[in-house]
Structure 1
Amino acid sequence: MKQEIHTDKAPSALGPYSQAVSVFAKFIFTSGQIAIIPETGKIPQDIACQTKQVLINLKTILEKGGSSLDNVIKTTVFIKNMTDFPIVNEIYGQFFTGICPARSCVEVSRLPKDVLIEIECIAIK
């Protein structure tokens, strides 16, 4: 019923959680992803590059689980500064086209490793 999804091509979990979990072989629930570049462990400094890297990390995890960004049905976006929303929205729109997923976006005071953005998603296989 429940299967862990893990890839070395996306950042490893920073704590006791999975990159993603597949349920009933139909749904994938990802953990929140931040902008760690898996090959270097570094984090880009600006919101545009961080947003792009987060979405690349999500894409990689979903593909490892047998899905894709096209199959995402819901995202939750956590941003440190709501004034970055237009930039986040522009980059986000480059990754999600056609029928876009439902989305929530909230401003938070702090994120892991002091990044500017974190995104989690739910996808179907």
Structure 2
Amino acid sequence: MATNKELLNSSKAPEPVGLYPHARRVGNLLFLSGVGPRERGTKKIPGVELDEQGNILSYDIEAQCRAVFQNVRYILEDAGSGWDSLVDVTVFLTNMKDDFATYNRLYAEYFQDNQPCRTTVEVSRLPTPIAIELKCIAMID
């Protein structure tokens, strides 16, 4: 990390779907771009069933939550940070009514020891057929 403003990409997290890095370091802060549950090297989304036109037929919010938390962890670790260094998490859900209870239960499981600030909002859709995306800020040494 030679510069004060450095773009970082993980070798384990799914590739970005646009022209942006996985993360950017500014000083001792690491800003993550929106992270979804996709698997690296594929368009596969854990727990999602799509029709031939790419519309969502069904999805498993628990599988997506676990996958997105893992992808965040990959980015943090590849950037030299870690899960316990998260200080702020913004969560975008496409179905707050049906998915919030499961998401909130899993969030409590994953963030039991580290409790960053959190904002959760419902959005009508995300850029790919996913039900959850996280935007995070972490400390980095």
TM-score, normalized by length of structure 2?
Answer: 0.84
Q: Does 1:49 align with 2:52?
A: no
- Bigger Rg over Cα: 2
Per-residue CA deviations over 1:52-100 (Å, capped at 9, x if unaligned) read: 1011000000001111111100000000011211101111222212240
Write out aligned runs for 1:2-81 (5 A).
Answer: 2-24=5-27, 26-44=28-46, 45=48, 46-81=60-95
> Bigger CA drift: 87-96 or 107-116?
87-96
Q: Alignment RMSD, CA only?
A: 1.1
**What amino acid is the match of 2:43?**
G
Q: Could you tell me how far apart the structure 2 residues matched to 1:39 and 1:13 are?
A: 11
Q: Does 1:114 align with 2:129?
A: yes
Q: For residue 101 of structure 1, what is the aligned residue in structure 2?
A: 116
Q: Size of the alignment, in residue pairs? A: 124
Which structure 1 residue ranges, 4+ long, deviate > 4 Å from structure 2? none
Per-residue CA deviations over 1:11-61 (Å, capped at 9, x if unaligned) read: 11111111001111x110000111101154310221110111011000000
Normalized per residue, the structure richer in helix is 1
The runs of 5 or more residues in structure 1 that have no matched partner are none
Q: Percent identity?
A: 40
TM-score, normalized by length of structure 1?
Answer: 0.94
